[in-house]
A and B are shown apart, each in its own frame.
Chain A
């Protein structure tokens, strides 16, 4: 099977950023979920998830995000998304999850809300 989701983790100051590239779907979302939980349980309650290079996200990807949000809020944190792809934005808009996850196009804006 091709590697359809690449997950990178970096930090901007104290805030961890998960860079996703590819497709977040039923085949790949478990790995994404594990990456989020590892960071949260490692002491980083707040996260930025970059969807800037994501081609598709399905309901399992959204489920992973909701699961991550639960862990994050339990630890007093927040999850903020980076996204500039109108098709991905549409998924959040149409499901109503754009009201649950703050979404920014610019990393500096996303960082400022977590500061």
Chain B
């Protein structure tokens, strides 16, 4: 894609996701072309400098991707600020991070968390945005995160990617301590807020709901994209994300014979590679098991794996071509799902097992629910959607409209607003240096 097309958002690929650094670019050009206007704008604009603590790409995990998305989206509105990433990494990994990663925490090195807090305390970072999931930090249940927070002297907003209904005593302790040490805890659905109130006794004034962000994708007809993919006559069912046993993909595969009986051209795309952590411990045994099921059922022409990292544009293209998106998760407790959010953002007719996040975001006709571990339920519901064009269209429209408010550019404003409110409450307001 040429620079011109990036700038205009034009181009023959209708699923192209344009970059939007226009504000930053305009300000940069102003500096050389109209210094007075540049100075006026610099003086006027928000200069919050967030520091993000999280795993970060190229680490392959949903939270790393989330962190990059939120940091990038916020930065687009703050052209005079310098975001900082404090990346959590395993000791033996050498990650070719982007320059925005200015400090690294060694996951299992407890002192590294205290050193990172000192780094933040001595830096120009105004506020810390911490992405939390027990597994991404070191120590039992990731408890080293508390060492970081205890040593930190800057206000912190923690985004919780996991809120367990039935935590272990240690998990509960960690979350409760975080509730005391952080200014705000962000959850992505109201259910998460309720669990924190009921199960963890977190101060209600400290909990806020900001939805999981989704790429800014304008709606295109699946038929158009399918033609471009050479799949005009196929009914496309898809699932995407890092693959592991908890995803329940085998149940969709086992549903395919019944779907194919009614729709002989149906094809199920499994988009994404095996989770690197899983691959390290058990290799491709789950995917191999799925392949065996495919062979046993004679589904070679009806199930396709795309076992590699997909760029955002590739992913969006497949999602836009999809007729029915299926999320067959096995765990009821899941409180966020970037992949489900993305499917809604692309305006897809979505089916999911009723895990906590899905129950809320697919309510009110935005999706349909399938039973856990039930090929029969999956097959019947997929067929119901493919049979009923009006139902499919109404699900797609409701999903798209709902997710539009969660486009990253809107989510970024919510985070920026939150950062600003926390800093004002803390009495920290960034002043423009004189001159």
Inter-subunit contact B9/A28 (CB<8 Å): yes
Interface string of B1-24 (1 = CB under 8 A from A): 000000111100010001111111
Inter-subunit contact A1/B220 (CB<8 Å): yes
Knowing A2-B219, A58-B409 are in contact, say whether A94-B77 is a contact too (CB < 8 A): yes
Interface residues of A (CB under 8 A from B): 1-2, 4, 25-30, 55-56, 58-64, 66-67, 69-70, 73-74, 90-91, 94-97, 99-100
Which residues of B have CB within 8 Å of A95?
45-46, 77-78, 416
Closest to A2 in B: B219
Knowing A73-B37, A96-B46, A97-B45 are in contact, say whether A63-B14 is a contact too (CB < 8 A): no
Knowing A1-B14, A2-B219, A25-B216 are in contact, say whether A66-B27 is a contact too (CB < 8 A): yes
Inter-subunit contact A96/B9 (CB<8 Å): no
Q: Which residues of B from 375 to 431 have beta carbons under 8 Å from A? A: 404, 407, 409-410, 413, 416-417, 420
Inter-subunit contact A70/B9 (CB<8 Å): no
Which residues of A have CB within 8 Å of B409?
25, 56, 58-59
Taking the complex as formed, is B44 at the interface, i.e. its CB lies under 8 A from any CB of chain A?
A: yes
Which residues of B have CB within 8 Å of A63?
20-26
Interface CB pairs A-B, < 8 A, 25: A26-B18, A27-B9, A27-B18, A27-B218, A29-B22, A58-B76, A59-B21, A59-B23, A59-B76, A60-B22, A60-B23, A62-B22, A62-B77, A63-B23, A63-B24, A63-B25, A63-B26, A66-B23, A70-B26, A70-B29, A70-B34, A73-B37, A94-B77, A95-B46, A100-B41
Count of interface residues, chain B, beta-carbon cutoff 8 Å: 40
A4 to B404, CA, bound (A): 12
Known A-B contacts: A30-B8, A64-B22, A94-B420. Give 14 more (CB < 8 A). Answer: A26-B216, A56-B404, A58-B76, A58-B409, A59-B77, A60-B20, A62-B22, A62-B23, A63-B21, A66-B27, A69-B37, A70-B34, A90-B413, A95-B77
Say what secondary structure dominates the interface of chain B. helix
Which residues of B have CB within 8 Å of A61?
22
Closest to A34 in B: B8
Which residues of B have CB within 8 Å of A28?
9
Taking the complex as formed, is B33 at the interface, i.e. its CB lies under 8 A from any CB of chain A?
A: yes
Knowing A30-B7, A59-B76, A94-B420 are in contact, say whether A67-B26 is a contact too (CB < 8 A): yes
Contact among A1, A27, A29, A66 for B41, CB-based, below 8 A: A66
A64 to B45, CA, bound (A): 16
A29 to B7, CA, bound (A): 9
Contact among A1, A2, A25, A66 for B20, CB-based, below 8 A: A25
What distance in Å separates the Cβ of A103 from its nearest Cβ neighbour in chain B? 13
Inter-subunit contact A30/B10 (CB<8 Å): yes
Which residues of A have CB within 8 Å of B410?
56
Taking the complex as formed, is B209 at the interface, i.e. its CB lies under 8 A from any CB of chain A?
A: no
Which residues of B have CB within 8 Å of A60?
18, 20-23
What distance in Å separates the Cβ of A115 from its nearest Cβ neighbour in chain B? 23
Inter-subunit contact A99/B44 (CB<8 Å): yes
A73 to B37, CA, bound (A): 9
A58 to B76, CA, bound (A): 9
Closest to B224 in A: A1
A47 to B216, CA, bound (A): 29
Which residues of A have CB within 8 Å of B33?
70
Interface string of B207-237 (1 = CB under 8 A from A): 0000000001011100000000000000000
Which residues of B have CB within 8 Å of A26?
9, 18-20, 22, 216
A13 to B373, CA, bound (A): 67
Which residues of A have CB within 8 Å of B20?
25-26, 29, 58-60, 63
Interface string of B109-127 (1 = CB under 8 A from A): 0000000000000000000
Which residues of B have CB within 8 Å of A74?
34
Q: Which 8 A-B pairs have the closest CB atoms?
A: A63-B22, A58-B409, A26-B20, A60-B20, A63-B23, A59-B76, A99-B44, A60-B22
A29 to B34, CA, bound (A): 22
Inter-subunit contact A96/B44 (CB<8 Å): yes
Between A28, A29, A66, A100, the greatest number of chain B beta carbons within 10 A of the residue's beta carbon is seen for A66
Contact among A30, A58, A66, A90 for B216, CB-based, below 8 A: A58
Inter-subunit contact A100/B40 (CB<8 Å): yes
Taking the complex as formed, is B30 at the interface, i.e. its CB lies under 8 A from any CB of chain A?
A: yes
A28 to B20, CA, bound (A): 11
What distance in Å separates the Cβ of A52 from its nearest Cβ neighbour in chain B? 19
A9 to B23, CA, bound (A): 24
A95 to B41, CA, bound (A): 10
Between A60, A69, A95, the greatest number of chain B beta carbons within 10 A of the residue's beta carbon is seen for A60
Knowing A63-B23, A63-B25, A94-B77 are in contact, say whether A70-B220 is a contact too (CB < 8 A): no
What distance in Å separates the Cβ of B126 from its nearest Cβ neighbour in chain A? 14
Closest to A68 in B: B26
Which residues of A have CB within 8 Å of B45?
95-97, 100
